[in-house]
């Protein structure tokens, strides 16, 4: 039972444009969400997080939006850069980190 | 930032043998470490939570006798895959908490270990 879902396995975006990665969850009790970036053969690195009491959190080029009624969050990257090419995982905190299945982002010149 | 290392980064072993993977927090003490497993194109799945000086807590469906976890010190946790089989081939990642809070954003991940069982 996948409680955190990323329905798009891949996304391709041109450099300079906006990348939007989506994540849906099923458990309304989740109160904290995170986004991680992962390169092949490496562990995930923390990008940005958001508490359920907020609907937006911004950090540089990265903005996370949370829509609690829809149980949906998204990560916006603007402008996208080739170095952003990686797999992005959203995660929710219950008593542990629960990861989504990941979305592979490719930013091309 | 906090650094977590894993050793080895890549290991190939024969079916039936055991493999030990080390996870170290290099510049902080970690009372809690987590072990994850990732299959290709799938999510990271938590296998177990390791607390220093006590028995690990395993997630449902994870065989504790097959995946032995030892958290002997505040900077080292080990995962031993016993009697490995090809289906155990996977990417194993550990993470460590820098605080005593249950689960926070201060969870730093190691670089992972790719296990291939032939």
Q: What was the pLDDT predicted at B51?
A: 86
Within an 8 Å CB–CB cutoff, is residue A1 touching chain B? no
Mean pLDDT per segment of 10 residues, for chain B of length 118 residues? 90 97 91 89 89 89 94 92 96 85 71 95
Kindly list the distances between the CA atom of residue A19 and the CA atoms of A25, A80, B27, B37, B68, in Å, as whole numbers in the listed order. Answer: 20, 6, 35, 27, 41
Residue-wise pLDDT tens digits, A83-106? 999 999 999 988 788 999 999 999
Buried b / exposed e along B45-69 (16+ C-beta atoms within 10 A): bbbbbbbbeeebbbeeebeeeebbb
User: B41–A101: do the CB atoms touch at under 8 Å?
Assistant: yes
CA dihedral A65, B112, B27, A51 (to 10 degrees): 20
| A39, pLDDT greater than 60 | yes
- Give me the mean pLDDT over the A66-72 stretch: 96
Burial A67-101 (b: 16+ CB within 10 A, else e): eeeebebbbbbeebeeebbbbbbbbbbeebbbbbb
* Contact criterion met (CB < 8 Å) for A44 and B93: yes
The pLDDT of residue B98 is 74
| Nearest residue on chain A to B38, alpha-carbon basis | A101
Contacts of B101 (CB under 8 A, 6+ apart): none
DSSP sequence for B29-68: --SEEEEEEE-TTS-EEEEEEEETTS--EEPTT--TTTEE
B31 closest CA partner among B58, B59, B63, B71: B71
A101 in B contact zone (CB under 8 Å): yes
Q: Does position A23 have pLDDT exceeding 60, yes or no?
A: yes
Q: What is the pLDDT of residue B102?
A: 54
pLDDT of residue B105: 60
Q: Residue with structure tokens 């996948």? A: A2
First vs last Cα of chain A: how many Å apart? 38
């Amino acid at each position: 039972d996948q409680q955190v879902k990323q329905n798009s396995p891949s996304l391709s975006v041109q450099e300079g444009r906006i990348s939007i990665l989506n994540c849906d969850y099923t458990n309304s009790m989740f109160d904290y969400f995170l986004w991680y970036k992962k390169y092949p053969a490496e562990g995930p690195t923390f990008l940005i997080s958001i508490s359920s009491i907020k609907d937006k959190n911004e950090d540089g080029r990265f903005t996370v939006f949370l829509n609690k009624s829809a149980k949906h969050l998204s990560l916006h990257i603007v402008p996208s850069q080739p170095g952003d090419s990686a797999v992005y995982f959203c995660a929710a905190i219950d008593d542990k980190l629960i990861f989504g299945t990941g979305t592979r982002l490719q930013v091309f010149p | 930032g906090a650094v977590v290392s894993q050793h080895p980064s890549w290991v190939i072993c024969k079916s039936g043998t055991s493999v030990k993977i080390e996870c170290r927090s290099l510049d902080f003490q970690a009372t809690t470490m987590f072990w994850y497993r990732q299959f290709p194109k799938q999510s990271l799945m938590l296998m177990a939570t390791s607390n220093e000086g006590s028995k690990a807590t395993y997630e449902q469906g994870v065989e504790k006798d097959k995946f032995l976890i030892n958290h002997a010190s505040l900077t080292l946790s080990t995962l031993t895959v016993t009697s490995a089989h090809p289906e155990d081939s996977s990417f194993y990642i550990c993470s460590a908490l820098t605080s005593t809070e249950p689960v926070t954003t201060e969870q730093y991940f190691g670089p992972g270990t790719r296990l291939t069982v032939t």
